[in-house]
Amino acid sequence: MDYSRFGLSAAPAMQTRAAYGWRADFERQLSDDDRALTPARITAIHRSRLQAATPEGELTLPVQHGPDDPVTVGDWVLVAPETPRLVRRLDRLSLLKRRAAGSEARAQLIAANVDTLFVVTSCNADFSEARLERYLATARAGGVTPVVLLTKADLADPAPFAQRARALMPGLLAEPLDARAPATADHLAPWLARGQTVAFAGSSGVGKSTLVNTLAGTDLLATQGIREDDAKGRHTTTGRAMFRLPSGAWVIDTPGMRELGLAEAGEGIEAVFPEIEALARACRFSDCAHETEPGCAIRAALEAGTLDPRRLARWRKLTAEDARTAETAAQRRARDRAFGRMVREATSLKKR
């Protein structure tokens, strides 16, 4: 998308890399040989080219990465300035990813070096603990701080929704707001400082695009209303891109986060369900399935009424899904290694 017609740019004229999200962690990755290269941040990915931003201006780079080391929006890369061409990607501070569609369940990269994931839901029938826990686990697995934003707070009492959201994870912040209100930018200012990077996730129709437009101060993204019968809406964002808000913060719009399959989210699940994970570690047997085994701490908590069976069911679903994905990935890597050996052996025989 061309953001310049809205008065926004993927590469505004600024003086320092810090304004683009540069951190000391990236600086420490630079060797003496790297000093001749230009650090740039990926702001958009197209089929045959990458867009990147530097304090000196925008760059267009050819797509050179392989499937085993792809770049995504938000990545920092080093560029040979005379070409320009991408030389290498710097190690990430955080990474949001999901399970891509298809039987092989490959991980699809969503955004890198994100500071905060705004998980957007609304104070109506869209609110779902199961969906929120999925987003929270993905954020924590990727090293990103999640914050729940409760939209449409002007149309319902937000207090019960905020209470339900905060109960999903220790220390979780849940902020009720009106996505259209100009004061929303001030409300979210702690997460929107200069050089900070935020991403948005949530189901269709909850007000993500409206919220981004409010923060940008212009109609940047298309919006659609919700259906009255089920409080659902149509998805209005179709491509990932990174742009700057008037506050100096960077926004990565993430349509791939609407339908979210877990990918390598074990640590995130543990962070969202610490009380269940602690019970599981207290079981008599390390391989306890928490069904009929003696000495099962989870079954004891259920019988004592100290564990919500609905929350346990959601934990079971997420852990089972993540285990299936991990197994599929391992099988795929083994198959790739076997194929590589076969190719090498065939090449060796041919040379004889």
183: left (phi over 0), alpha (psi -120 to 50) or beta: alpha
Q: How confident is the model at residue 2 (pLDDT cuts 50, 70, 90)?
A: very low
Specify the pLDDT at position 253.
75
Residue where a domain stops, chosen among 34, 64, 89 = 89
Structure tokens at 252: 């990565």
Specify the pLDDT at position 65.
53
Do residues 223 and 151 both lie within one domain?
A: yes
Q: Which of 136, 138, 158, 157 is nearest to 147 (CA)?
A: 136
Do residues 222 and 298 both lie within one domain?
A: no
Q: Which CATH number do you get for residue 341?
A: 1.10.40.50
Query: Is residue 37 within 8 Å of 78, Cβ to Cβ?
Result: yes
Residue 307, number of CB atoms within 10 A of its CB: 19
1: Cβ contacts below 8 Å, ≥ 6 apart? 239, 241
Does residue 336 carry a pLDDT above 60?
yes
CB neighbour burial string for 215-244, b if at least 16 within 10 angstroms, e if fewer: bbeeebbebeebeeeebebeeebeebbbbb
d(CA 212, CA 244): 11
Q: How confident is the model at residue 287 (pLDDT cuts 50, 70, 90)?
A: confident
Structure tokens at 281: 């570690």
Percentage helix, strand, coil, to 5, in the chain? Answer: 35, 20, 45
Whole-structure pTM value: 0.82
Do residues 107 and 206 both lie within one domain?
A: yes
Do residues 66 and 101 both lie within one domain?
A: no
Query: Is residue 199 within 8 Å of 117, Cβ to Cβ?
Result: yes
Full DSSP string of 171-193 = T-EEEE--TT-TTHHHHTGGG--
Long-range contacts formed by 291-297: CB under 8 A, 24+ apart: none
Query: Is residue 326 within 8 Å of 334, Cβ to Cβ?
Result: no
Full DSSP string of 234-268 = -----S-EEEE-TTS-EEEE-GGGSS---SS-HHH
d(CA 63, CA 61): 6
Beta bridge partner(s), residue 154: none
Do residues 251 and 109 both lie within one domain?
A: yes
Do residues 72 and 106 both lie within one domain?
A: no
d(CA 238, CA 240): 7
Q: Which of 222, 208, 218, 214 is nearest to 256 (CA)?
A: 208
Residue where a domain stops, chosen among 57, 89, 121 = 89
Query: Is residue 334 within 8 Å of 340, Cβ to Cβ?
Result: no
| Section 225-239 average pLDDT | 43
Look over the chain and give the mean of its residue pLDDT values, rounded to a whole number. 83
As a whole number of Å, the CA-based R_g of the chain is 23
What is the number of structural domains in the chain?
A: 3
Specify the pLDDT at position 99.
80
Residue 114, helix vs strand vs coil: coil
| 256-270: pLDDT as tens digits | 565 677 878 899 999
* Amino acid of residue 247: S
Task: Give 34's DSSP letter.
Answer: G
Q: Which CATH number do you get for residue 15?
A: 2.40.50
User: Which residue do the tokens 């050996």 mark?
Assistant: 341
| 67-101: pLDDT as tens digits | 556 899 999 999 998 888 899 999 999 999 888 66
Do residues 124 and 243 both lie within one domain?
A: yes
Do residues 60 and 115 both lie within one domain?
A: no
Specify the pLDDT at position 11.
46
* Amino acid of residue 171: G
- Domain span including residue 125: 95-257
| 146-204: pLDDT as tens digits | 999 999 888 889 999 999 999 999 999 999 999 889 899 999 999 999 999 999 988 87
What Cα–Cα distance (Å) separates residue 45 from each residue in 49, 84, 174, 335, 338? 6, 16, 32, 29, 32
Do residues 15 and 84 both lie within one domain?
A: yes
Does residue 347 carry a pLDDT above 80?
no
| 101-127: pLDDT as tens digits | 655 557 788 999 999 999 999 888 889
Phi, psi at residue 71, to the nearest 5°?
-105, 160
| 35-70: pLDDT as tens digits | 899 999 999 988 888 999 998 889 999 886 555 568
| 121-158: pLDDT as tens digits | 988 888 999 999 999 999 999 999 999 999 988 888 99
Do residues 130 and 177 both lie within one domain?
A: yes
Task: Give 226's DSSP letter.
Answer: B
Measured in residues, the chain has a length of 352
Do residues 124 and 222 both lie within one domain?
A: yes
Do residues 154 and 302 both lie within one domain?
A: no
Cα-based angle 189, 159, 232 (whole degrees, multiple of 5): 85
Does residue 284 carry a pLDDT above 80?
yes
Residue where a domain stops, chosen among 25, 56, 89 = 89
Q: Which CATH number do you get for residue 222?
A: 3.40.50.300
Q: How confident is the model at residue 323 (pLDDT cuts 50, 70, 90)?
A: confident
